[in-house]
């Protein structure tokens, strides 16, 4: 094997199709144990890492377990960076998130603004742990010449997402809530006002970008950090309306304003992404939602929830 994909059973990892790669489970490789990671790299002759693994969740999860999100993600990330440095795993790919960008803009957010301000207070534990991937990658390149590309995707979604009602992200949680509201003939209750805006990218689009970075990273000098987004925002209210329409829900939709909204908006610039992928067109949200809803309803007993 030459490419280690961490978090291979997760949303992004499960969609990656990279030649000579391996996707060990957490039982097979505990990323919190550096000795285990070191032995795995030596045993399987790993040359690159695609680091997808993370403790992730929505607004409630990040806020209620903010230290856990900081501590566990930071430990994993430092172990992966140290392994890349120790074994000179050149042109690895680290997955970050646009939620780590400064909460107060200015907008649109760019790669250069990453450390210009605090992330949103609801997820700063996770955000700072993820920011350290970028810092570590820069330091590693400057001191040792070992490069890792940090991609900063907006909210990604699709088949094999986590549909947990309390701790999941926006789209998978809304699909699950709508499914249950239809099944139980109840109101659809959505957290927050519905006014916050988010950017979304279909997971297969993101997987394609990662695969290209791995396949061509030795020949193309990709930037050290790159935001991946379709450069279009949707309100939570409009996303809810789309899901309600596509799932044919006829009941009441209630926005529970006693629950937190999270950051109100975080539009990004995808200028760097379009420079390196000028001819790539992201899947429209409507199509991605259709595919996600179909997968969820067909596989309901077995989906992550």
> Ramachandran region of residue 194, left (φ > 0), alpha (ψ -120 to 50) or beta?
left
Backbone angles phi, psi at 288, to 5 degrees: -60, -40
Look at residues 282, 155, 151, 127 and name the one whose alpha carbon lies nearest to residue 223: 151
Look at residues 28, 31, 32, 71 and name the one whose alpha carbon lies nearest to residue 49: 31
Task: Tally DSSP H helices, then E strands, for the chain.
Answer: 9, 11
Q: Distances in Å between the alpha carbon of 176 and those of 16, 239, 304?
A: 24, 14, 10
DSSP state of 302: G
Instruction: Report, as residue numbers or ranges, the catalytic residues.
Output: 126
Judged by DSSP in three states, 65 sits in coil
């Amino acid at each position: 094997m030459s490419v280690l994909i961490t978090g291979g059973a997760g949303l992004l990892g499960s969609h990656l199709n990279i030649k000579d790669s391996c996707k060990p489970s957490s039982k097979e490789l505990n990323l919190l144990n550096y000795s285990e990671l070191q032995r795995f790299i030596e045993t399987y002759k790993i040359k690159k890492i695609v680091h997808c693994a993370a403790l992730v969740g929505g607004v409630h999860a990040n806020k209620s377990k903010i230290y856990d999100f900081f501590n566990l993600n930071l430990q994993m990330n430092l172990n992966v960076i140290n392994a890349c440095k120790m074994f000179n795993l050149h042109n690895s790919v680290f997955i970050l998130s646009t939620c780590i960008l400064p909460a107060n803009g200015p907008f649109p957010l760019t790669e250069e603004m990453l450390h210009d301000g605090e992330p949103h207070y609801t997820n700063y534990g996770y955000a700072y742990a993820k920011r350290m991937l970028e810092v570590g990658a820069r330091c590693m390149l400057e001191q040792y010449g070992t490069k890792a590309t940090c991609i900063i995707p907006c909210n990604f979604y699709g088949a094999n997402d986590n549909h947990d009602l309390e701790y999941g992200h926006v789209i998978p949680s809304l699909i699950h809530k709508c499914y249950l509201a239809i099944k139980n003939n109840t109101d659809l209750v959505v957290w927050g006002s519905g006014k916050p805006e988010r950017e979304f990218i279909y997971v297969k689009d993101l997987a394609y970008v990662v695969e290209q970075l791995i396949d061509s990273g030795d020949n193309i000098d990709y930037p050290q950090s790159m935001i991946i987004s379709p450069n279009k925002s949707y309100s939570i209210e409009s996303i809810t309306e789309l899901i309600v329409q596509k799932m044919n829900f006829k009941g009441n939709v209630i926005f529970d304003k006693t629950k937190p909204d999270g950051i109100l908006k975080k539009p990004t610039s995808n200028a760097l992404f379009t420079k390196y992928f000028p001819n790539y067109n992201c899947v429209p949200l409507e199509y991605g939602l259709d595919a996600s809803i179909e997968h969820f309803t067909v596989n309901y007993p077995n989906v992550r929830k």
